[in-house]
Amino acid sequence: MIEPEGMNYEGTIIRPPSEAFSILLQVTLGCSHNKCTFCGTYKDKRFTIKDDQTIMADIRFASKYMVNQHRLFLMDGDGLIVPQRKLVWILDMIKEHLPWVRRVGAYANAKSVKMKSDEDLIELKENGLGILYLGIESGDNETLRKVCKGTTAENLIKQGQRIKEAGIKLSVTVLLGIAGRADSLKHARATGKLLSAMDPNYIGALTVMILPNTPLDDDYRAGRFELPDTHELLLELREMFKHTHLSGGLFMSNHASNYLPIKARLPKDREKTLDLIDAALRGEIDLKPEWMRGL
């Protein structure tokens, strides 16, 4: 029998920063939505769900060569979209062949969460799914419409709450700057309101970066979208943070795209973090230089 040379990865692959040392198991190709105007990640492939044989080959490879990695992340853009029976089978195979894996995570979107019943989500939790990563981007419905997110703030809140009620940890991302200059603070306040209602375990605030060959890039070049400047982005971050009230989650802006890294446990770090942002607004703290920013 010929040993496989490695995992069967296809096309561009990404994972959350917190999954940097995880086993990356590609169970889908691309994103089931793939219409967001700011995202160019999965333009190189058509969305499909991988066949059982390929998935099993990767699990067997990981069982031999990835014995020191205790977390596993299901790629690509929306692992939760996999039909329930197959997803439970994947989780069962992970438990059988990779018993040292302590947590399995995946990306999700509002559509894929909605397609799962409450009982489905609980079953996934019981079979090892420990965390879902949900891209929110904004709590402002007009902004969500403009970026073609395919959902509403109200639906995002509901689906996020359902994830948490099933006992699965919820990590969400929001995008600073995505509403442009004119609606910057409106977007910030609405997003803080959404985050407060959803009460996720983790929040990652990223700063939008305009990628070539995306609809947002077309709007930017045509003058239809104006990106807030650095000072305005800090004001947006402050406004969003000020309106975010969590029962005990983490609010972070330490992604490579951000000018000011923060890591705040709410509610206890609220005032300290507001003071930090204010100091940055006054120019008392050095911000990340442009050449160090990236995705």
Please compute, for residue 35, the number of CA atoms within 13 A of its CA located in the half-sphere on the CB side: 12
Q: Comparing C-alpha atoms, which of 112, 45, 118 is closest to residue 83? A: 112
Predicted pLDDT at 4: 58
Residues in the chain: 295
Q: Please check whether residue 135 is in contact with residue 107, taking contact to mean a CB–CB distance below 8 angstroms.
A: yes
109, pLDDT greater than 60: yes
Ramachandran quadrant class, 148 (left: phi over 0; alpha: psi -120 to 50; beta: rest): left
Amino acid sitting at position 39: C
Task: Give the residue ranges of DSSP H helices in 116-269.
Answer: 118-126, 141-146, 153-165, 184-198, 215-221, 230-242
pLDDT band at 1 (very low <50, low <70, confident <90, very high): very low
The helix/strand/coil state of 113 is helix
Of all helices (H) and strands (E), which one includes residue 60? helix 52-65
Predicted pLDDT at 3: 53
Sort strands 169-176 and 202-207 into parallel, antiparallel or unpaired: parallel
| Span 26-48, average pLDDT | 89
| Span 56-80, average pLDDT | 95
Determine the Cα–Cα distance for residues 249 and 287; give it in Å rounded to an integer: 25
Beta bridge partner(s), residue 134: 108, 172
Residues 222-248 pLDDT 10s: 999 999 999 999 999 999 999 999 999
2, pLDDT greater than 70: no
Global confidence as pTM: 0.94
Q: Which two tokens stand for residue 125?
A: 């939790």
Residues whose CB is less than 8 angstroms from the CB of residue 229 and which lie 6 or more positions away in sequence, other chains included: none
11, pLDDT greater than 90: no
> Within its chain, how far is the Cα of 154 from the centroid?
18
Determine the Cα–Cα distance for residues 203 and 263; give it in Å rounded to an integer: 10
Other C-beta atoms lying within 10 Å of the C-beta of residue 173: 19
Share of the chain above pLDDT 90, in %: 84
| Span 250-275, average pLDDT | 94
44, pLDDT greater than 90: no
The helix/strand/coil state of 193 is helix
Share of the chain above pLDDT 70, in %: 99
Determine the Cα–Cα distance for residues 98 and 63; give it in Å rounded to an integer: 6
Tell me the average pLDDT of the chain: 94
Q: Comparing C-alpha atoms, which of 23, 147, 139 is closest to residue 74? A: 23
Q: Which domains does the chain have, with CATH numbers?
A: 17-285 (3.20.20.70)
